[in-house]
Structure 1
Amino acid sequence: MFFIASKIFEFFFAPAHFFIFLAALGAALLYTRFARWGRRFAALSAAALALMAFGPVGQFLGAPLESRFPRPADDMPAPDGVIVLGGTVDEKLSAELGHTAMIDAAERLTAPIALKRRYPNARIVFTGGTAALRGSPFTEAEGVKRFWRDVGLDAGDILYEDRSRNTFENAIFTRELVQPKPGERWLLVTSAMHMPRSIGIFRKANFPVIAYPVDYRTNGKFSFILPRFAVKAIGVVEFAAHEWMGLVAYRLTGKTDALFPAP
């Protein structure tokens, strides 16, 4: 129920979607006796979308998330394992094309290649089923397995968890799969913006992990740096807004240990 509700809520209230819907409502109201409200809605939507596309909104929303958990030093003690969260593969397109189609955050899949070379004895676990609302016969884990075997990372020694649909299930099912022992050191690889919520969820699931953030979208600082491309800028706003809303929702439903988890 939580998974379905979160998908429906995100569809309607993701910033870009919300203001597009509001603009459409405003345009429709122009032909009614509520034309004044229509103009207001249309103007507000246009201003908001322009600010997201050409202003520093993404930087302001994303920087606090990405700077929350720094990457560990290169000379850290060798970890016992590496957990890689999904969110990079288009399941439907991969099934149709017959090869792995990445949609975003590809560094989640390339970073483990370097980590395996640096820590050859570390176990690697990928966790990700399908995030499709109606499910999918092709899981993200299957696509990642194909990719890692093609690049030579997977020699039959990588574990894949393919039941999870969100980060909460990532933590629960991965803990059940690897059954970590007290004192073991596990790295968690995911996008820097997604890291605070992920750490909070794994802590709540009684699976302590060490943050290894990748896929940065900002420089981690509050600044007025303007984006180069509107589509990319709106994508950063969408990602950051998704994480802030997720932090609130997961905290209210008891799925994280803090509203804004800290190191």
Structure 2
Amino acid sequence: MFFYLAKLFFLVARPSNFLVLLALAGLCALLFARTRRLGRLAVGAAVLGLAVAGFSPLANIVLLPLEQRFSHPDPLPAHVDGIIVLGGAIDTVVSGVRPYPAITTAGERLTVVPDLARRYPAARIVHSGGQGVLFGNTSTEAEAAQRIFAGFGLDPARVLLEGKSRNTWENAMETRALLRPKDGETYLLVTSAMHMPRAMGVFRQAGWTGLVPYPVDWRTRGEEDRWLGFDAISEGLTRLDLAVREWIGLVAYWLSGRSSALFPAP
């Protein structure tokens, strides 16, 4: 139920969708004399919101605290027992009907695996991800990841695929059941930098210890992008949607008892 409620809520709460819905509501209000003033206000607010969200640095301002929360491990651990790669880098709608799996803009979650596999030749490699969208799935992320890892030349005996999970909480629980981690073991957790705070909070709450965050897929260069705007409204809106999704996720997971903290820290 949590999965479906979260998807439906964000369908409306996503900034780009919300602002368009606000504009449509305003246009409807203009049809009636009693609500025309309210309609004009709604349309004006929506247009202004779309311009600010799309062109201004707002998306970077909202995103940076997420990306800066967990830094890249330096130095890397001398020994790692497993490398956990969270889903989100594969389009499960397209992948099942095309000759090769379709990779999303979060593809770095996958492309770092060969290097990590060479660095830690004894580590198990786990990909955790099933079907994370409500409609149109034609495959699971695990099925696509298996093909991608085979293309990387990874030894199939080292690879474990978890294909049941649909969200971060299920990633943590299903992967824990699969690996049965022991005290003293070390695992790299690979996911997008913006998603790392939520992922670490959820994995900690699920009972994981010995996790080393390994963020990838940065969307900003750092502080120098804080006041950098966008030259296309679609770019700003896309980045803001991603950032707001993570902030909403942090609050929702904390309130539902699925995260160890509201804004998990290193």
TM class by smaller structure:
over 0.9
Do the aligned partners of 1:63 and 1:219 also contact (CA within 8 Å) in 2?
Answer: no
1:235 aligns with 2:243: no
Do the aligned partners of 1:145 and 1:154 also contact (CA within 8 Å) in 2?
Answer: no
C-alpha distance in 1 between matches for 2:99 and 2:250: 35
Matches within 5 A, 1:38-77: 38-77=39-78
C-alpha distance in 2 between matches for 1:60 and 1:54: 13
Query: Tell me, which stretches of 5 or more residues in structure 1 are unaligned?
Result: none
Q: Which residue of 2 aligns with 1:16?
A: 16
TM-score, length basis structure 1: 0.96
Q: Which residue of 2 aligns with 1:244?
A: 247
2:104 is paired with a residue of what secondary structure?
A: coil
User: One-letter code of the match for 1:58?
Assistant: A
2:257 is paired with a residue of what secondary structure?
A: coil
The alpha carbon displacement at 1:32 in A equals 1.6
C-alpha distance in 2 between matches for 1:145 and 1:104: 19
Do the aligned partners of 1:85 and 1:127 also contact (CA within 8 Å) in 2?
Answer: yes
C-alpha distance in 1 between matches for 2:154 and 2:53: 39
**Change beyond 3 A, Cα 1:75–1:192:** closer
1:254 aligns with 2:257: yes
Q: Which residue of 1 aligns with 2:202?
A: 201
C-alpha distance in 1 between matches for 2:94 and 2:144: 10
Q: Which residue of 2 aligns with 1:138?
A: 139
The alpha carbon displacement at 1:228 in A equals 4.2
User: One-letter code of the match for 1:241?
Assistant: V
Q: Which residue of 2 aligns with 1:30?
A: 30
- The one-character-per-residue Cα deviations of 1:110-155 (angstroms, maximum 9, x if unpaired) are 0111111111111110000001225845101111111121222353
- The one-character-per-residue Cα deviations of 1:80-104 (angstroms, maximum 9, x if unpaired) are 1110000111112111213201122
C-alpha distance in 2 between matches for 1:135 and 1:46: 31
Q: Which residue of 2 aligns with 1:149?
A: 150
1:67 is paired with a residue of what secondary structure?
A: helix
Q: Which residue of 2 aligns with 1:173?
A: 174
Q: Which residue of 2 aligns with 1:226?
A: 229
The alpha carbon displacement at 1:55 in A equals 0.5
2:156 is paired with a residue of what secondary structure?
A: coil
CA RMSD for the aligned pairs?
Answer: 1.5
The alpha carbon displacement at 1:65 in A equals 0.5
User: One-letter code of the match for 1:251?
Assistant: W
Query: Tell me, which stretches of 5 or more residues in structure 2 are unaligned?
Result: none
Q: Which residue of 1 aligns with 2:213?
A: 211
Percent of aligned pairs with the same amino acid: 43
User: One-letter code of the match for 1:100?
Assistant: P
Do the aligned partners of 1:64 and 1:220 also contact (CA within 8 Å) in 2?
Answer: no
Do the aligned partners of 1:87 and 1:104 also contact (CA within 8 Å) in 2?
Answer: no
What is the aligned residue count?
A: 263
Moved more, 66-75 or 251-260: 66-75
- The one-character-per-residue Cα deviations of 1:210-230 (angstroms, maximum 9, x if unpaired) are 110000012332721123443
C-alpha distance in 2 between matches for 1:235 and 1:97: 25
Do the aligned partners of 2:94 and 2:138 also contact (CA within 8 Å) in 1?
Answer: no
C-alpha distance in 1 between matches for 2:109 and 2:179: 20
- The one-character-per-residue Cα deviations of 1:175-228 (angstroms, maximum 9, x if unpaired) are 000011100110100000000000000000111211100000123327211234
C-alpha distance in 1 between matches for 2:219 and 2:185: 30
**Change beyond 3 A, Cα 1:118–1:12:** same
C-alpha distance in 2 between matches for 1:12 and 1:75: 41
Q: Which residue of 1 aligns with 2:2?
A: 2
Do the aligned partners of 2:27 and 2:43 also contact (CA within 8 Å) in 1?
Answer: yes
C-alpha distance in 2 between matches for 1:213 and 1:227: 24
TM-score, length basis structure 2: 0.94
C-alpha distance in 2 between matches for 1:223 and 1:86: 28
